[in-house]
């Protein structure tokens, strides 16, 4: 029997005539996959649906069916006819709050997420901190309510599950997400295409970037982690996109022997430094919080504005403007 919250959400969806779906600000396979999965389901239900995502799509996610419908122009929020907003994999909802005043205050918001830090900012919130991905939260919602599925929806949702578990290799790989993968495969999802597009098929420049990152690997006592660094120059020289550095963190986490935590430091084009932790057993969310960041227990990060990466005798440090070493 459907959960009461699910029924309330279905009521909102049934009444809505113009639904706007939003991804997280940070683009990854889960936020795009869960959003587009729901897009295909709502289309099957005969709904008028639009999708907004604030950042440029990553080339390695372009195989997900429906990426071409994603709009990036915020004037989408000017439409008075929008009567329901659904947002996926976005832990705080901060980025789109600036757009909300353009919408009627009475418009309900449904939130699907798996970040433990999500305060539940929606009218209805589907937040499962133990779920491997937002995509599998979305899948259980669709299944519970017996919403109409097709193979495009299945492929999008399975992409979210696959990428957030680093192809079923991370400690958050649960029986529930494997069961979801099995059911989605029955709806026509192709795991081999997802793995090839998101994990393999690395461009020559990406592999060169990985080569630089491998060379710089070192044990960093400051962060108690095997650490590497990527500078803005590397990224500019090799013209690779952000998802590739995330893939690098996941790869190193799975591959480096004898360490709990891997840290990838990366300079960003706005003059800051991003740090992303991956862990097998330590709580890296707590560690990231010390630096004003956050995330999941096994995958977390932080960002320092106005900082650069500096190498000193093989150890990479974050140096803030003014010279303070973090
Ligand atoms: Mn996620």
Cβ atoms of 246 and 276 within 8 Å: the answer is yes
CA 198 / ligand 1 centre spacing (Å): 15
The order of strands in the sheet holding 225-230 is: 218-220, 225-230, 261-267, 273-279, 299-304, 294-295
Which two structure tokens, joined as six digits, stand for 145? Answer: 């309510």
pLDDT at position 289 is 94
CA distances from 295 to 9, 18, 118, 134, 174 (A): 27, 32, 10, 14, 19
pLDDT at position 240 is 82
Confidence of residue 323 (pLDDT cuts 50, 70, 90): very high
Q: Which comes out higher in pLDDT, residue 295 or 71? A: 71
Whether 310 shows a pLDDT value over 80: the answer reads yes
Confidence of residue 97 (pLDDT cuts 50, 70, 90): confident
pLDDT at position 1 is 56
CA 30 / ligand 1 centre spacing (Å): 5
User: Out of 29-33, 139-143, 150-154, 299-303, which region has the weakest mean confidence (pLDDT)?
Assistant: 299-303
Q: Which comes out higher in pLDDT, residue 3 or 90? A: 90
CA 252 / ligand 1 centre spacing (Å): 19
- 4-198: CATH superfamily: inorganic pyrophosphatase (n-terminal core) (3.90.1640.10)
Its pTM stands at 0.78
CA 136 / ligand 1 centre spacing (Å): 10
* Mean pLDDT of the region 267-272: 92
Angle between helices 134-144 and 151-164 (to 10 degrees): 140
CA 85 / ligand 1 centre spacing (Å): 19
State the virtual CA torsion across 238, 239, 242, 246 in degrees, nearest 10: -30
Mean pLDDT of the chain: 92
* Mean pLDDT of the region 162-173: 89
β-pairing, 124-127 vs 109-113, is parallel
Cβ atoms of 99 and 77 within 8 Å: the answer is yes
Beta-bridge mates of residue 220: 225
Confidence of residue 181 (pLDDT cuts 50, 70, 90): very high
- How many angstroms from the chain centroid is the CA of residue 7? 27
Q: Which comes out higher in pLDDT, residue 52 or 1? A: 52
For the chain, domain boundaries = 4-198, 204-320
**Percent of the residues in the chain that have a pLDDT greater than 70, as a whole number:** 98
Whether 184 shows a pLDDT value over 80: the answer reads yes
Whether 109 shows a pLDDT value over 70: the answer reads yes
User: pLDDT (tens digit, 9 = 90+) per residue, 211-269?
Assistant: 999 999 999 999 999 999 999 999 888 888 766 777 787 778 777 777 789 999 999 98
CA 134 / ligand 1 centre spacing (Å): 5
* Mean pLDDT of the region 105-125: 93
* Mean pLDDT of the region 17-29: 94
Confidence of residue 320 (pLDDT cuts 50, 70, 90): very high
CA 212 / ligand 1 centre spacing (Å): 28
Rounded to whole angstroms, the Cα distance separating 70 from 73 reads 10
Three-state SS for the chain is CCCHHHHHHHHHHHHCCCEEEECCCCCCHHHHHHHHHHHHHHHHCCCCEEEECCCCCCHHHCCCCCHHHEECCHHHHHCCCCCEEEEECCCCCHHHHCCHHHCCCCCCEEEEECCCCCCCCCCEEEECCCCCCHHHHHHHHHHHCCCCCCHHHHHHHHHHHHHHCCCCCCCCCCHHHHHHHHHHHHCCCCHHHHHHHHCCCCCHHHHHHHHHHHHCCEEECCCCEEEEEECHHHHHHHCCCHHHHHHHHHHHHHHCCCCCEEEEEEECCCCCEEEEEEECCCCHHHHHHCCCCEECCCEEEEEECCEEEEEECCEEEEEECCCCEC
CA 31 / ligand 1 centre spacing (Å): 6
* Mean pLDDT of the region 161-186: 92
CA 25 / ligand 1 centre spacing (Å): 12
CATH architecture of structural domain 204-320: Roll (3.10)
CA 295 / ligand 1 centre spacing (Å): 10
Whether 95 shows a pLDDT value over 90: the answer reads no
User: pLDDT (tens digit, 9 = 90+) per residue, 123-163?
Assistant: 999 999 999 999 999 999 999 999 999 999 999 999 999 99
User: Out of 33-37, 60-64, 179-183, 256-260, which region has the weakest mean confidence (pLDDT)?
Assistant: 256-260
Q: Which comes out higher in pLDDT, residue 290 or 250? A: 290
CA 292 / ligand 1 centre spacing (Å): 20
Whether 38 shows a pLDDT value over 60: the answer reads yes
pLDDT at position 257 is 73
Beta-bridge mates of residue 319: 308, 325
């Amino acid at each position: 029997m459907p959960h009461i919250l699910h029924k309330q959400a279905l009521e909102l969806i049934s009444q809505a005539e113009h639904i706007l779906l939003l991804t997280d600000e940070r683009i990854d396979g889960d936020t795009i996959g869960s959003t587009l999965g729901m897009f295909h389901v709502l289309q099957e239900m005969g709904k008028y649906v639009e999708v907004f995502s604030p950042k440029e799509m990553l080339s390695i996610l372009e195989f997900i069916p429906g990426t071409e419908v994603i709009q990036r122009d915020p004037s989408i929020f000017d439409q008075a006819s929008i009567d329901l907003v659904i947002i996926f994999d976005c832990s705080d909802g901060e980025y789109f709050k600036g757009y909300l005043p353009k919408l009627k205050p009475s418009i309900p918001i449904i939130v699907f997420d798996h970040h433990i830090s999500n305060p539940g900012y929606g009218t209805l919130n589907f937040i499962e901190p133990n779920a491997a991905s937002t995509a599998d939260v979305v899948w259980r919602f669709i299944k519970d309510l017996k919403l109409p599925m097709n193979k495009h929806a299945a492929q999008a949702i399975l992409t979210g599950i696959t990428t957030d578990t680093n192809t079923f290799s991370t400690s958050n790989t649960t029986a529930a997400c494997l069961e979801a993968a099995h059911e989605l495969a029955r709806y026509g999802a192709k795991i081999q295409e997802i793995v090839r597009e998101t994990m393999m098929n690395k461009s020559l420049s990406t592999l060169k970037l990985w080569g630089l990152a491998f060379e710089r690997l070192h044990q960093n006592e400051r962060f108690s982690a095997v650490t590497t660094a990527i500078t803005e120059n590397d990224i500019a020289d090799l013209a690779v996109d952000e998802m590739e550095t995330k893939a690098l963190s996941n790869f190193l986490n799975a591959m480096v022997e004898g360490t709990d935590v891997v840290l990838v430091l990366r300079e960003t084009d706005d003059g800051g430094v991003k740090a992303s932790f991956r862990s097998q057993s330590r709580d890296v969310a707590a560690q990231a919080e010390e630096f004003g960041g956050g995330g999941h227990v096994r995958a977390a990060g932080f960002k320092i504005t106005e900082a650069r990466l500096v190498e000193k005798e093989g150890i990479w440090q974050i140096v803030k403007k003014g010279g303070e070493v973090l």
